[in-house]
Structure 1
């Protein structure tokens, strides 16, 4: 077995791999960019090595710098995690040349399966059904457009070199083709360094089911059951579970056997995943999508139902060992479901968010597992993927696992940055999800019902105001009347007024009088409530009309962050609200919907544009957002250029409508 292993990744997967290395007594080496100098994975590893500035191309994607770190620390092997260099054939070759073991499949298998075009051709030749489409390498824009017309709309544009939904575009109208091809190529180049595209028929009412396979150098190849990954937004998985609630034992056996044969066809060793798309109405009809030649984000659900540590198996196979199991030894026990926690705002189209983690609550309990890279004081930036953590729940049956996960997400809070935990809880309580009626279009169909902004309950505003009162009121029994904050006066106490505002909402007036241990509070025009506060560090017990809720409370930078009762929200004190930056609207101002980098500017000052005309593209965490003209008129302000970083809500353009009488 290896003595030292370098983990060529970051975030929660680096943390997860390091924990298995530690459990096996293997010395771990972390690498990090300048942006990740204080990240959790660097603190958990035995050794941490800086490898460059924040942009991934200059750090995590630099083969030379990663291998230099391995040589300097005496690492005998490299675990690539997922993403970054995990399916990069040049990296695998470079490791081999340097005499360092790449913890992954052979170069030939990566070449055959890592490129989606070659993968489809390989399995099609072996008789595995594939999605209709065009997979010729080297198609230029015109060829991609012709292929789309031949396949028939709607079509799916997919980068050949990567996964994770990056660069994938559904095109429903031929008029959108040119713009969507250009966007898909940009995202593919940014994420994978390769903008080759393939075209597939888009299957709307479908289910995404993948099979975990494992092989060793001694000829053993097994599958460890399937995972259902149908709940997706923007082709990115959100909820995954094992086993699939759709498949019968016979269907499971057929799909598993097909996955094993696909792996055997390329001499596969290590962990891999064969992905299929399944007709939701005819589950016996399945089509090969791709093979991921690496560990998957959702591997914990397989670990939960099989009792196996997949990272440990990877290490043992990479060291030349035999798999300790055969196909007959694989047993699936119970059910597991995983939810991905992202720094994103579902109410704003799942746009990535950024900020400092000022408070953190991660769940515990029976059957609950958390894979996370979060820590208080950590900064969530825009250089990398917005996934922060995974919350996983196991149960003896699907309903128990689902209910445990809902509860666990209610106990999860990342204070200081917006996340999707509320959306995940709502999704898991959707009637179709509860019943296991899943498909890849469910989230899109639900629309506002799942992603719309939720009103903040009055008791949350009340709790924030009481927390502020408890923070400033004097301690002890002898109170200087001049320092008393209770509103004392002759007659009855005066009300102290606070104006608190949640992102995207109107300010709410909250009146409080008395001391926090015995107060009255009134939210807006509501009736006064009796209240008291019991404070224990960051944990605040708030009792309103005899109902007690416990909140984690952090006051930072004029924002009161609260987590409790399934809510996690930051309420800013209105007098400190920023006044700069308005949303795009009737005034013609266009603002950045997320912190990021301007990658394309498509107009110039003085240009005449129509409402909806693309103006520029902002990219953050490998996701693009096209900003369009809110109205017809002239571009009168354009203070940004390609390559420039912008803040959330920073003004990036202004379109001025024609003056009265100037309209044609």
Structure 2
């Protein structure tokens, strides 16, 4: 048998770098990490046998680090790496990177460069597989088309249609367009996003399939002529074309009597697509399947790399009663080994569901969150797997993708897998940055999701998400915990000091105990909580840095002090910064609220996160209406429009290209002056 590599460099970061490094170490292969300045203390750096810095000291973005081909190849030479695993994203589908490795005689743990070249461009790949009997979505897919040419072609395709970048993936730059009037601005925005994310602003158009399901097929191909598929995954739960929850096998096929035949047809089409380009390694062929006509499916693209959602396939696929490690298979294929199993040996066992945990704020339009996650507790247990970039604590950089972890649950059937995943998310605690844990549980409880009635538009139909309010018992716990943390902080030895009777401030008096009102801030929202002094509050356990609820009817809950002196609350997936408000601050907050109500909205437009200003739709002196776009900022590879809150005259405080910080005022709107003329004289 061909020997494996001695040293492999992992050209990525985050949870995928951690996941690949752990497989390398299990196989006895020396693992080399690379890292940007922001990631110097990251988990993948600590796990690797050697780590090589990319970029200059201080802050450096993806272009200067993980996307710098020369720097990564140089790291291979410095570390003696014989091969590179690219993970996903970054250089994983970059044909120039694959060719540079070939020229340096370094193995690429991925397909041949020509397969990347063909399948990495959506226009070329769509035309190519169509010639090999794989069904494709009607549309226009020609390189080099201008906006004007695309607008002319759109009439023949019909609306609604879908704009797609030819390069890249992950839904970035994609957008549905309902009418001809929306198309010019949508094309401009898609080109900006594609150019920024992929360095290529080529676009094409496709017919928008109604009630579509996103179903993809995992393939493995060696260099000895064997290609197999490992059944399918359903990835229909998407937000802005970015997958949120994935599962295997597809609920659609599981619900149909002819499901096994459709699975075989999808697998055969995926194998044909892979074989048509001489594919080698692990890859994924993605299809649109109409919920109204599941026998009809269309090729979307082939991802010539490992997918984020590959763990659900690993959890259900069995070959001679063993699980497959897809990273291990990639390494063995790249080293020249043959696949040691045939298609008829692939079997399925149970059901698996994966949820992507992001540092983002669903209640604020899913804006990315960054900062220091000072407490990270992710579950372990029967049927639960976690692939995470953080252990215990860690930083979330504003420069890179905000995914923190993937939580995967396996069960004997779909209902058991869903239940285990929900329980795992409820037990997860991430404090210090906003996350989508609560939103993921909201999705898992959706009636259509529970029933398996999925399509790629389901999340959009649900509309804006609002975090649940803390229950009365949770607010009581938060107040009690915060007061206990304040008392313990005052004690030098960490024990609660015994206050002097006149300094206790607990409302105690002879006779009936007087209840007092405490003002609690939960992520900017104020609640008034009545507190007694008779010892009837929640049962607490903890010390100087955290307090936990003991035997609470709401399940597990914690309030923990962050390094900056503040505190966070977490229970059942809901997490938020919490603090107690004094009377003066409560009064100022009430007055500010009244001022905003009089003006009809907030006159200041603030940056919701750190980022860069990429476009401005107005200039100082323009008159604006509520909801009118003013500026767009880009952060974590996404573009976010900022809108006017009130009508009036705008003053813009920043320019295109400026770097901005969270909560920085970018523009202000002076409300219109009252138009009523004063009346005088008789009849006044």
TM-score interval for Structure 1 and Structure 2 normalised by the shorter chain: over 0.9
Give 2:670's aligned residue. 656
Of 622-631 and 238-247, more deviation after overlay is shown by 622-631
Correspondences of 1:146-225 after superposition (within 5 Å): 146-225=152-231
User: What SS class does the counterpart of residue 57 from structure 1 fall into?
Assistant: coil
Measured in 1, the distance between the counterparts of 2:467 and 2:649 equals 32
Change (3 A) 1:108 1:626: same
Alignment partner of 1:592 is 2:631:
no
Q: CA deviation at 1:587?
A: 4.5
- SS in structure 2 opposite 1:153? coil
1:472-507 alpha-carbon deviations (Å, 9 max, x no partner): 1567799463697473755166656542222252x1
Deviation at 1:597, TM superposition (A): 1.7
Of the structure 1 ranges 609-618 and 89-98, higher mean CA displacement relative to structure 2 is found in 609-618
Task: From the superposition, tell whether residues 489 and 283 of structure 1 become closer, same or farther in structure 2 (CA, over 3 Å).
Answer: closer
Partner residue, 1:526? none
Match of 2:653 among 636, 639, 658: 639
Assess if the C-alpha contact under 8 Å between 1:541 and 1:548 holds in 2: no
Q: TM-score, normalised by structure 2?
A: 0.90
Give the C-alpha shift of residue 204 in structure 1. Answer: 3.2
Structure 2 counterparts to residues 291-330 of structure 1, below 5 A? 291-306=302-317, 307-330=323-346
Conserved 8 A contact 1:358-1:554: no
The 1-side partners of 2:543 and 2:499 are apart by 24
Deviates more, 1:577-586 or 1:254-263: 577-586
Q: 1:286 aligns with which of 282, 297, 309?
A: 297
**Structure 2 partner of 1:503:** 523
2 CA distance for matches of 1:5 and 1:259?
29
Distance 1:597 1:512 in 2: 45
1:19 aligns with 2:22: yes
Query: Which residue matches 1:342?
Result: 358
Taking structure 1 as reference, are residues 104 and 385 closer, same or farther at Cα in structure 2, changes over 3 Å only?
same
Does structure 1 conserve the Cα–Cα contact (< 8 Å) formed by 2:121 and 2:167?
Answer: yes
Q: Please say if 1:563 is aligned against 2:581.
A: no
Give 1:534's aligned residue: 541
Question: Alpha-carbon deviations, 1:536-592, whole Å to 9, x = none?
Answer: 676644358x74744333112353212234432221333589989999963532222
CA distance in 1, matches of 2:478, 2:615: 41
1:408 aligns with: 424
Asked whether the 8 Å contact 1:594–1:647 carries over to 2, the reply is yes
Offset of residue 412 of structure 1 = 1.1
| Alignment-derived partner of residue 394 in structure 1 | 410
Match of 2:470 in 1: 456
Deviation string, structure 1 residues 271-320 (Cα, Å, up to 9, x no partner): 00000000101100000000000000000000001110000000000001
Counterpart residue number, 1:44: 47
Q: Does 1:243 find its partner at 2:249?
A: yes
Aligned to 2:256: none
Question: Residue 490 and residue 233 in structure 1: after superposition, are their counterparts in 2 closer, same or farther (change >3 A)?
Answer: closer
Kindly indicate whether the alpha-carbon contact (under 8 Å) linking 1:541 and 1:549 is maintained by their aligned counterparts in 2: no
Instruction: Identify if the C-alpha distance between structure 1 residues 537 and 262 changes in structure 2 by more than 3 Å, giving closer, same or farther.
Output: farther
Check 1:628–1:147 CA distance in 2 against 1; reply closer, same or farther (3 A cut).
Answer: farther
Check conservation: 1:559, 1:573, Cα contact below 8 A.
no
Superposed CA deviations along residues 338-376 of structure 1, whole A, max 9, x for unmatched, are: 000111112222111122102111011100000000144
Q: 1:429 offset after TM fit, Å?
A: 1.4
Contact in 2 for aligned 1:213/1:259 (Cα 8 Å): yes
Give the secondary-structure state (helix, strand or coil) at the position aligned to 1:593: coil
Structure 1 residues 491 and 105 mapped into 2: Cα distance closer, same or farther (>3 Å)?
same
For residues 286 and 223 of structure 1, what CA distance do their matches in structure 2 show? 17
Q: Which moved more, 1:116-125 or 1:531-540?
A: 531-540
Q: Which runs of 5+ in 1 are unaligned?
A: 521-529
Q: How many residues align?
A: 646
Match of 1:525 in 2: none
Give, in angstroms, the shift of residue 86 of structure 1: 0.3
Q: Which runs of 5+ in 2 are unaligned?
A: 254-258, 318-322, 678-684
The CA deviation at 1:169 is 1.2
